[in-house]
Amino acid sequence: MTDFLAQHAEILITLVKIALLLFIVLTVNAYLTWFERKVVAHMQSRWGPHRVGPHGLLQPLADGAKFLLKEDPTPAGVDKFTYFLAPLMALALALTSIAILPFGPDPIRLFGHDIYLGIVDLNIGILALFAITALSVYGVALAGWSSNSKYPLLGGLRSSAQMVSYELALTMSVVGVLLMAGSFSLRDIINAQAAHPERGILGWNIFPQILGFLCFFTAAIAETNRVPFDLPEAESELVAGFHTEYASFKFAMFFIAEYTSMITVSSLCAIMFFGGWLSPFPASWTFTHYLPSAILIPFGLWVIWDGIHYETIFGRVILPGLGTVLTVIGVVLVAFPFINEFIQGPFWLLGKILFFLFVYVWMRGTLPRFRYDQLMSFGWKLLLPVSLANVVITASVILLRAH
Amino acid sequence: MIPTHYYLILSAILFGLGVVAFIFRRNIITIFMSIELMLNAVNLAFVAFSQAWNRLDGQVFVLFVIVVAAAEAAVGLGIIILIQRNRQSLNVERVDLLKL
Amino acid sequence: MNAPLIIFFVLAAMAILGAISLILQSHPIHSALSLIVVMVALAGLYLLMGAEFVAAVQIIVYGGAIMVLFVFVIMLLNAGVEERTNVSKLAGWAGLPLAIALMGFLAAAVARSTDRVQAAAQTGATAPTKALAGLLFQEFVYPFELTSFLILVAIIGAIVLAQREKEKIRP
């Protein structure tokens, strides 16, 4: 038995990593819905979910239970195979794209094996992500067509036309970063930004590639069908667009696919333009390594204080417990510098991902949506020429520098 | 290492299946898709030879074949849309006279 | 029976099953989905051979753009299940053996010539994409520019073909 384990250790480690990452991503998805509802609500001067559990923290559990227990009817006249395939395809592709992202620079040393944070490091990392984005058009188009109904068909066609149009601008806007890094691999892109660690934030790709970042972020919002580009699934326009005829669990699959692709896009923005796991402070400022603890300990103490004064008994028990856990983690990080050094990379990467997710949710609460013809002309007539210009300018500067 | 002739036999089988689909199906769009299948089989042969001789020319040619297939698909589907508009049918046996 | 050989047989079986499904399905959208399965299987085979850029381009361009075009046209034209017209009994009975004979002939011709083609020692160089790009832009730059012109012509052609007739302009 242990012989078998020793021989096939790589496969077993990868399987365990995949299971762990799936669990983490699905939990983050669930709490992302909570985060979105809370932030949009507070922007609109209302509470958001605050009944189910302290501060509404158990709302995702309630939503999950609803999705699992609701009736799942299949409309008459649908093309059965395609109707069942579409949400499956959308979810599978969205979850596969998480496997390519790296989450930290240093490996963990366990049982004599180096375990890198991240499932795999492909040397065509970015291209593989674009391949998955290209295939995810099918989830939407097939869902719209197979529903045998007018609104989903229109929503599906519009949405897939939008996704195909913005895919061009998406891939072009990244070429500048690829030229600067010289490789498709995501770890190499971050390492190219780490070439001058004393520059800190000035070494990141955002400053030379500001045009590329703006094009990428805009095109990515259009790819994930979020506000302001969510006409194909807007309630007042097309009932619910391509997922009108989908009920509980299949709708949940589309939902999870959309939020997972939001997480993937935020990670890509952080990795490609904002230095990934690099700290914005220069490497010589080692006191900034205590920043995670400096955030966790006061936050944990505030959660304890808030929990003591909470209205329900359940909240008065859970919140102080949560706060204690956070404070203890903060203290452990101060006490053990070895763990603190290890946690720096993932801390900054997760912080940047959370920031971009907040920007996504912020835009949802703030911006009105584009009309369809405005959307298409924006993608073809503005974004594509600007991203092409970015490629030409970047290539010219690199060529001139090389002389 | 997988011997090259395994890939070439697979390419030959896929090409043959593409020819069978081309001859036996009656929907214009399906016939067009069988042409794409034949082009894919040829691409597989190109990449197999590129690996066998350890040169990259085969892969460059595959890129050109993909680009030409894309251009051909765009124009061909435009023609198919016109045929559907004029004859109200996608059956290739109804497109056998120059007169409508 | 090592891992690459098993992967090869799995992907080859996927490709052949997809191609057979293309022939046998009655609705064109199911044939399109089968063709997508064939293309993804072929992309896997390209990865197995070490041609990673070609594999990615196959999925992005063929699977993500050309087949999307096919699926759009099938949806827009509302293509339904194929009707059976003019089935010739002779074609039905003689067709399948003839097809198998054709494939067998091609496969045998290939298998008999194996002594000429030897498998390479290693799978691909360290930076195949860089080498591919160098080849594309230095040795093959003339065909490369010609294909860009070809795509432009195809775009204009497709737009002109598919547009609706304009109303006659009254003087």
Q: What is the pLDDT of residue A247?
A: 81
Query: In chain A, what percentage of residues exceed pLDDT 90?
Result: 46
Among A136-150, A375-389, C21-35, the least confident range: A136-150
| pLDDT tens column, A71-92 | 888 888 888 899 999 999 999 9
pLDDT at A239 over 70: no
Distance CA C86, CA C63 (A): 33
A137 touches chain C (CB under 8 A): yes
Phi and psi torsions of A46, nearest 5°: -140, 175
Which of C35, C24, C33, C26 lies closest to C80, judged by CA? C26
User: A113: pLDDT confidence band, cut at 50, 70 and 90?
Assistant: confident
> Using CA atoms, how far apart are residues A346 and A310, in angstroms rounded to an integer?
32
Q: Which of C23, C79, C132 comes nearest B60 by C-beta?
A: C132
Are B32 and C70 within 8 A, CB to CB?
Answer: yes
The beta-carbon neighbor of C56 closest among A131, A141, A167 is: A131
C27 interaction partners in chain B (CB closer than 8 Å):
none
Least confident range of A210-214, A243-247, C6-10, C158-162: A243-247
The whole-number average pLDDT for the span A138-159 is 86
Q: Which of B45, B71, B46, B67 is nearest to B56 (CA)?
A: B46
Judged by 3 or more CB pairs under 8 A, whether A touches C is yes
From first to last of its 100 residues, chain B has per-residue pLDDT tens of: 788 889 999 999 999 999 989 988 889 999 999 999 999 999 999 999 998 888 888 999 999 999 999 999 999 999 999 888 888 888 888 888 877 7
**Strands, DSSP E only, in A78-143?**
108-110, 113-115
- Are the CB atoms for A35 and A27 separated by under 8 Å? no
Query: Where do runs of H (alpha helix) occur along A274-336?
Result: 291-308, 313-335
Please give the radius of gyration of chain C, using alpha carbons only, rounded to the nearest integer: 22
Is residue B33 in some structural domain?
yes
Among residues A298, A284, A289, which one has the least CA distance to residue A337?
Answer: A289
Residues of B in contact with C130 (CB under 8 A): none
pLDDT value for B76: 94
- Looking at residues C27-49, what average pLDDT do you find? 94
Please list, in sequence order, all residues whose beta carbon lies within 8 angstroms of the beta carbon of residue B67, skipping any fewer than 6 positions away: C61, C147, C150, C151
- Both structure tokens of A184: 């498709």
Touching subunits of B (3+ CB pairs, under 8 Å) are: C
Least confident of A149-153, C11-15, C86-90, C150-154: C86-90
Give the DSSP H/E element, type plus range, for residue C125: none
Closest chain C CA to residue B38: C19
Chain B: nearest CA to C120, how far in angstroms?
A: 5
| Residue B97 domain flag | no
C36 at interface of A, judged by CB pairs closer than 8 A: yes
Contacts of A79 in chain C (CB under 8 A): 27, 29
- A206 pLDDT higher than 80: yes
Higher-pLDDT residue of B39, A336: B39
CA distance C73 to chain A (A): 11
Q: Closest-CA residue in chain B for C98?
A: B20
Cβ contact A355:A109 at 8 Å: no
d(CA A254, CA A242): 10
If you ran DSSP here, which 8-state letter would residue B97 be given? Answer: -
Interface test with A, best of C24, C37, C42, C68 (most A CBs within 10 A): C68
- Chain A residues whose beta carbon lies within 8 Å of the beta carbon of residue C63: 131, 134-135
pLDDT at A26 over 90: yes
Residues of A in contact with C64 (CB under 8 A): 131, 133-135, 137, 167
If you average pLDDT over every residue of chain A, what do you get?
88
Task: Delimit the domains of chain C by residue range.
Answer: 1-80, 128-171
Judged by CB atoms closer than 8 Å, whether chains meet at B56 and C132 is answered as: yes
Chains A and B touch (3+ CB pairs under 8 A): no
User: Long-range pairs for A45-52 at CB < 8 Å and ≥24 separation?
Assistant: none
CB pairs under 8 A between A and C: 62
The pLDDT of residue A369: 85
- pLDDT for residue C160 is more than 50: yes
Per-position DSSP letters for A334-370, written without gaps between them: HH-HHHHHHHHHHHHHHHHHHHHHHHHHHHHHHPPPP
Q: Which long-range contacts (CB under 8 A, 24 or more apart) does A111-116 make?
A: A111/A9, A113/A9, A113/A10, A113/A13, A115/A13, A115/A17
Contact A124 C65 (CB under 8 A): no
Q: What's the rounded Cα separation, in Å, for the pair B90 and C79?
A: 7
Q: What is the pLDDT of residue C122?
A: 47
pLDDT confidence band for C171 (50 / 70 / 90):
low
Q: How many CB atoms lie within 10 A of CB A78?
A: 17
More confident residue, A50 or C58: C58
Contact call for C63 and A134, based on CB within 8 A: yes
Question: Which amino acid is residue B92, in one-letter code?
Answer: V
Could you give the CA distance from residue A196 to residue C94 in angstroms, rounded to a whole number? 71
The structure tokens 């890509």 sit at A268
Token reading at A350: 């997760």
What is the full DSSP assignment across C147-162?
HHHHHHHHHHHHHHHH
The pLDDT of residue C119 is: 52
From the list C32, C128, A185, C64, the residue with the least C-alpha distance to B21 is: C32
Mutate to test the interface with B, among C54, C72, C118, C122 (most CBs of B within 10 A): C54
Instruction: Give the residue, A9 or A41, on which the prediction is more confident.
Output: A41
For residue B71, give the CATH number of its domain: 1.10.287.3510
For residues A297 and A329, what is the distance between their CA atoms, to the nearest angstrom?
A: 8
**Residue-level pLDDT at B85:** 87
Apex A87 CA angle, B69 and A360, nearest 5: 90
Q: Where are the domains of chain A?
A: 2-47+54-284+336-402
Per the omega criterion (within 30 degrees of 0), is the bond before A73 cis? no
* Interface-testing mutation among A96, A137, A174, with chain C (most C C-beta atoms within 10 A): A137
The predicted structure's pLDDT at residue C9: 95
Rama region for A56: left / alpha / beta (φ>0; ψ in -120 to 50; rest): left
Q: How confident is the model at residue C168 (pLDDT cuts 50, 70, 90)?
A: low
- For the ranges A63-67, A342-346, C56-60, C94-98, the maximum mean pLDDT occurs at C56-60
Distance CA A72, CA A76 (A): 13
pLDDT of residue A235: 56
CA gap C111, C117 in Å, rounded: 10
- pLDDT band for position A12 (cuts 50, 70, 90): confident
How much is the pLDDT for A201?
Answer: 83
The third-level CATH classification (topology) of the domain covering C1-80 is Four Helix Bundle (Hemerythrin (Met), subunit A) (1.20.120)
For C32-64, b where at least 16 C-beta lie within 10 A, e where not — what string?
A: bbbbbbbbbbbbbbbbbbbbbbbbbbbbbbbbb
Contacts of A138 in chain C (CB under 8 A): 36, 68, 71
Inter-chain CB proximity C82 and B26 less than 8 Å: yes
pLDDT of residue C121: 45
Note whether C60 contacts A138, CB cutoff 8 Å. Answer: no
Asked if the Cβ–Cβ distance from C72 to A142 is below 8 Å, we say no
Contact flag A124-C53 (C-beta cutoff 8 Å)? yes
* DSSP state letter for A114: E
**DSSP at A380:** I
**Is the predicted pLDDT of residue C139 greater than 80, yes or no?**
yes
CB contact at 8 A, A203 and A275: yes
A127 contacts: CB under 8 Å, gap ≥ 6? A184, C52, C53, C56, C57, C60
- Residue of B2, B4, B18 with shortest CB distance to C117: B4
ipTM confidence score: 0.93
The pLDDT value given to residue A392 = 95
User: Among A7, A142, A146, A388, which would you mutate to test the C interface (most chain C Cβ atoms within 10 Å of its Cβ)?
Assistant: A142
Q: At what angle do helices A210-223 and A384-402 cross, to 10 degrees?
A: 150
Residues 6+ apart with CB under 8 A from B30: B21, C22, C28, C31, C82
Q: Tell me how many domains chain B contains.
A: 1
State the best of C29, C34, C69, C76 to mutate against chain A, taking most chain A CBs within 10 Å: C29
Rounded to a whole number, what is the distance in Å from the CA of B74 to chain C's nearest CA? Answer: 6
Q: Which residue has the higher pLDDT, A165 or C84?
A: A165
pLDDT band per the 50, 70, 90 thresholds, residue A259: very high
- Partners of B92 on chain C (C-beta within 8 Å) are none
pTM beyond 0.80, yes or no: yes
Q: What is the DSSP letter of B91?
A: B
Residue A102 backbone zone (phi > 0: left; psi -120 to 50: alpha; other: beta): beta
Dig out the tokens for A90 from the structure: 């959308």
The amino acid sitting at C75 is M
